[in-house]
Chains A and B, each alone.
Chain A
Amino acid sequence: MMRAMAAAEEAARYPEPDRRPIQVFAFDPMVARLSGQETTTISVPYEPLRPGPSGELIQVIDYDSVAGCYYEPVNLDDPRVLLQNGLPPTERDPRFHQQMVYAVVSALLENFERALGRRFRWRGEKRLRAFPHAFLGRNALFDPDMDGTLQFGYFRADEKNPGRNLPGQTVFTCLSHDIIVHEATHALVHRLRERYKEPTNIDVYAFHEGFADAVALFQHFTLPDIVDRYIQQNRTDLTARTPLVDLAEQFGEGSGMGRALRSALGEAPDPSLINRTFEPHRRGSILVAAIFDGFFTAYQTAIADLLRIATAGSGVLPEGALHPDLVRRVSLEARTAAQRILTMCIRSFQYLPPVDVTFSDFLRSIVTADRDLYPSDEDGLRAALIEGFRRRGIYPSMVTSLADEALSWPDASDRGLPPIDRDVVNALVLDTAVGFRERRGEEEQATNAVFDPDWAAAKLHQYARANLDKLGLAGPGRLKVDGFHAAFRHGSNGQLRVDVVIRYLHSVPPDVQKKFGAALGGVAMRGGSTVVADATGRVRHVITKAVPTDPDAIGATDGGVARLRGLRQWVAQFDGHDLLAPWIQAESRLVQSLNFGRIDSAV
């Protein structure tokens, strides 16, 4: 006891660090070797760590199911490790692998928190557990059913076609920056919208995959020295094939594909391709290509003046190396644009419906969320993104034009909703405000709650019951409060913007579910609403997915009936494409054939 107090006193004499620098491979060991040790040091928020690393939100546990043993966990707080910014990158020491997984996931979490405008928490205060060497195989996965774990595989590179690897060398998926981010993003999306694990339309899993790929690619642009290098190398052209715009090169080549796993560049824009693409990873790639089309356009616009300044107005770069100052400035623009678009994508979650997301919902939510903060779109980023989507055939549904204001979710003021309970709004706002504490740490986890979540949920449930029709929650079935929070953000005018978000989940009655069970291939029919209000409790937007009011009524035309029809059509269409369908259980065929179990498509 005395010693503990003495140690605490001692520690108090030094200012607490904000950041923890950690060395990692910028992409993966193969790219690092080819480019001459491309490793980098990333900085993540400081928190005291126990061996693992084991922190407040992430825990790395190195169990190898092939060997049936554990590997020694790294202690990042050991002075000898701290002195060199973590262990130096190597394939041979599993403790470096653990360190890299921790660092990359931490950096990703920070990016999400920044965009979401609030502290991130896992459901039930659990931690995300990552297993860097879980199994032998060319795969890595996020398993939502096993308590949300990240599992990374390792494998021998292809003997015949190992790409730029040694034939038969061991490839670790946990050393690929992109694979770590991809899988962790699945976990984050799952945390934000649990029900997106239900494949209720053709876009849901494609959204999961595409979003994870896009985030992984944009994370490349958070590394200044790496971006500098490729801007110099390709003379500001970001669309050249470099590790910057490729996904998981070592994994792809080591698996015998002869190229990176996927890429931001995609195929040439073809609006009809999306209608012919069903496999989630491929369909997701179209989403990624659309987002990056927008990014490349925004980047070109952003650097046009720099190029003119640097070239005395001609805009044509001279032969030879670029001036390092120019490279730095161009690189900064690239990173800013990337960060801004990634932030837009993450912020869209504020408006995404609780179930059954479509690419169209995603686009509309991006536009709405971004318009909240930047009403005028002065740098044209939003326009670039909308155009990118259009060129890939992703059209928003139920809108009259592609104009900004038409794409935004409609204002809810004409729904005549009463304001949300003042006490609940205050509690949520206070909770988010208190959440911005100085630092993370395992022991900080159990801070006193500002309010009782059950009380808030009950109040919000009451609110919904009183306003079923206006919230789009009419119809038979069970209503549940799926989540609620407040978010703080800075708008372009420097003002603090506070939003309160509530999500309701609406499940159809069991007998209806049973009636359509086989036709729906095991997919649960659910609806719900995302309700966005301001700090006074005034409801600004209601985004709904209706459930059928009366599933027996033949002529019924409400939104729920249309959704049920859409769901049945999708299941029928899926059956037509799914190879496994004839060979597995009908009742769960969709759920069995589609999951996050693969980093790559089988087809």
Chain B
Amino acid sequence: MAIVRMYNVGFGDAFLVTVPRRGRPWRMLVDCGVHMHGAGDHTLESIVEDIIDTVSADSDGPPRIDVVVATHRHRDHIAGFDNERWHDVEVGEVWLPWVEDPEDSDAVALRNRQQAAALNLHTHFAADGDGDVADFVLNSLSNDDAMWVLQNGFAGSPERRYISAQGAKAHPLPGVRGGCVYFLGPPRDPRNLAAMDPPKAQRWLGLSAAGGGSAGGEVFPGFTVPAADFPQRYPHLAVSDKLLASFREEPVDTLTAASLLDRAVNNTSVMFLLQVGDALLLFPGDAQWGAWQPLLDDVDVRSLLTRTTLYKISHHGSHNGTPVEMAHEVLGGVTSLLSVRPIERWAHIPKEELVASLVTPPRHVVSSVFVDGEAPVTGVRCHPAGLWKEVELET
């Protein structure tokens, strides 16, 4: 048997995977964080506390988690690690995407590019008073304290494993009988790296550095005609004020740059398929299209994916988190976990069509959010105060 507990963090991810065995159960924590805009009904502290309390009850010794996975550096996936309590938790292994490897020069270069882009974009939006987009970008700015814990913290001197895609090759999972793991992402193949590249500076610098500092009338001194006089002097050239006002509208591309960066970081997600007996649990982090493509193109990986029994819906159910092909053709009768709190401004996360496809029987979707009067589902256990839901899987 394997149990997956999905915490109701809000707009974010926190999953505790448990494989019961004689003595202390095997525990794996996949992500722990929430988005600035998506705080749930429970504080992140209370969730961290519950995780640690749960694993503390496993034995008389110090609390222990066998594997901690931080799929990627977005706040909605790691913010919870910025917490003193983790110092006392013993961890066996920490899995991080290869882009976090401090000794890999490619990784350092890529991370620096992403970080520089995030900082620049954030400064730009904050200066413009565009707070919403600034917060959006902030999600991409790394949380240094949380990253420090993941890279250097925890008790028990855990080994850090920097994960990259290894195709349909099984890797041992010590401590789990009949268990193994397939590492599916992030890709390291240079052909697929573009999906992780941050937006090129010139796309948006045009709006800030290059755009500012040119006050009116300075461009062509001596040639100006005041707006009020012009229609009188040249009536044949008169145009409506509405048209002139439209020139000042901000093009949509500030959001584009922010979305590009968001995707770039999402595509660094550790994607893995955990096998426990007959159960195959797919955790793709927030992978978006660029990261899925190589998997769907690989025949072996594709056939492996068709055997998935539990699917953590990527990127909180967004349009481009789960390729249509994946939902329609690859996945079979899976149970899907949807960790998201609907947010008004992002009305299309989760995407209706995707959810609709994943609830067609015999498939079903378990959502992290509690609805009053929610009918109980067999195989799903709920925390009495709505802190989490648990799915039990036959192995």
Q: Which residues of A contact B (CB under 8 A)?
A: 50-52, 54, 59, 61, 63-73, 92-95, 129, 131, 133-139, 143, 146-147, 149, 151, 154-159, 161, 170, 255-257, 518-519, 572-573, 575-586, 589, 592-593, 597-598, 602-603
> With a CB–CB cut-off of 8 A, which chain B residues contact A586?
347-348, 352
Residue pair B219, A129 in contact (C-beta under 8 Å): no
Which stretch (B16-24, B234-242, B273-281) binds chain A? Answer: B234-242
Min CB gap A446→B, angstroms: 15
Q: Contact at A581–B216, with CB atoms within 8 Å? A: no
> CB distance B353 to A602 under 8 Å?
no
Name B's A-contacting residues (CB within 8 A): 136, 199, 201-203, 205-207, 209-211, 213-220, 223-227, 230, 234, 236-237, 239, 243-244, 246-248, 251-253, 255-257, 259-260, 262-263, 289, 315, 318-321, 323-324, 346-349, 351-353
Given A61-B237, A93-B220, A589-B348, 6 more pairs with CB closer than 8 A: A68-B216, A71-B220, A156-B210, A576-B319, A586-B348, A602-B257
The answer on a CB contact under 8 Å between A580 and B237 is no
**B320 contact set on A, CB distance < 8 A:** 575-579, 581-582
**Cβ B253 vs Cβ A255 within 8 A:** no
Cα separation A178 to B343 with both chains bound (whole Å): 44
Chain A positions within 8 Å of B321 at CB level: 582
Bound-complex Cα distance A256 to B209 (A): 12
Q: Are A602 and B260 touching (Cβ within 8 A)?
A: yes
Contact in complex: B349, A582 (CB < 8 Å) = yes
Question: Nearest CB to that of B253 among chain A residues?
Answer: A602
Residues of B within 8 A of A54 (CB): 236-237
Partner of A518, one of B210, B262, B352: B352
Among B203, B223, B319, B353, the residue within 8 A (CB) of A71 is B223
Verify A159–B214 contact, CB threshold 8 A.
no
The reply to whether B237 and A602 contact each other, CB–CB distance below 8 Å, is: no
In the complex the two chains form, what is the Cα distance from A347 to B205 in whole Å? 40
B251 lies within 8 A of A139 (CB): yes
Q: Would you call A147 and B243 a contact (CB within 8 A)? A: yes
Measured CB to CB, the closest approach of chain B to A282, in angstroms, equals 12
Tell me which residues across on chain B come within 8 A of A157, comparing CB atoms: 210
A581 to chain B, nearest CB (A): 4
Instruction: Report whether A72 and B259 are in contact in the complex, using a CB–CB cutoff of 8 Å.
Output: no
| Contact B346 A582, beta carbon cutoff 8 Å | yes
User: Which chain B residues lie closer than 8 Å to A154 at the CB level?
Assistant: 219
* Cβ distance B230 to chain A, nearest Cβ, rounded Å: 4
Known contacts A52-B234, A598-B253, A602-B260: A581-B319 contact under CB 8 Å? yes
Q: Which residue of chain B lies nearest to A157 when distances are taken between CB atoms in the complex? A: B210
Q: Which residues in B have their C-beta under 8 angstroms from that of A72?
A: 223-225
A602 and B203 within 8 A (CB): yes
Query: What separation, in Å, do the CA atoms of A151 and B247 have in the docked complex?
Result: 8
Known contacts A146-B246, A582-B348; is A575 also within 8 Å of B319 by CB? yes
Write the nearest CB–CB distance from A497 to chain B, whole angstroms. 39
Q: A573, B211: Cβ atoms under 8 Å?
A: no
Q: A256 to B210, alpha carbons, bound, how many Å?
A: 11
Q: A10–B209 Cα gap in the complex (Å)?
A: 56
- Establish whether residues A170 and B214, one from each chain, have CB atoms under 8 Å apart when the complex forms: yes
Most buried by A among B199, B239, B257, B263: B239
Which are the 8 A-B pairs with shortest beta-carbon distances? A67-B216, A138-B206, A579-B259, A582-B318, A65-B247, A581-B319, A256-B202, A70-B230
| Distance, CA A583 to CA B348, complexed state (A) | 7
Instruction: Name the residue of chain B whose CB is nearest to the CB of A573.
Output: B324
* Nearest Cβ on chain B to A102's Cβ, whole angstroms: 13
Q: Can you offer 6 A-B residue contacts whose CB atoms are under 8 A?
A: A63-B230, A63-B247, A70-B230, A576-B320, A576-B323, A582-B315
Report the Cα distance A584→B320, complex, angstroms: 13
Question: What is the minimal beta-carbon distance from B260 to any residue of chain A, in angstroms?
Answer: 6
What residues on A are CB-neighbors of B263 within 8 Å? 579
Min Cβ gap A443→B in Å is 12
> How far apart sit A346 and B285, CA to CA, in the bound complex (Å)?
49
Taken together as a complex, chains A and B put the C-alpha atoms of A67 and B252 apart, in Å, by 22
- How far does the alpha carbon of A54 sit from the alpha carbon of B349 in the complex, in Å? 50
Question: Cβ of A161: which chain B residues have Cβ within 8 Å of it?
Answer: 202
**Distance (Å) between the CB of A255 and the closest chain B CB?**
5
Among A51, A66, A143, A157, the most chain B Cβ lie within 10 Å of the Cβ of A66
Residue of A nearest to B231 (CB): A70
Contact between A576 and B243 (Cβ–Cβ < 8 Å)? Answer: no
Whether B289 contacts A576 by the Cβ 8 Å rule is yes
Residues in A with CB closer than 8 Å to B352 are 518, 586
Contacts of B347 in A (CB 8 A): 585-586
A51/B216 contact (C-beta < 8 A), A575-B320, A578-B320, A597-B252 known? no
B243 contacts across to A, CB distance below 8 A: 146-147, 149
Name the one of A93, A581, A585, A602 contacting B199, with C-beta atoms under 8 angstroms: A602
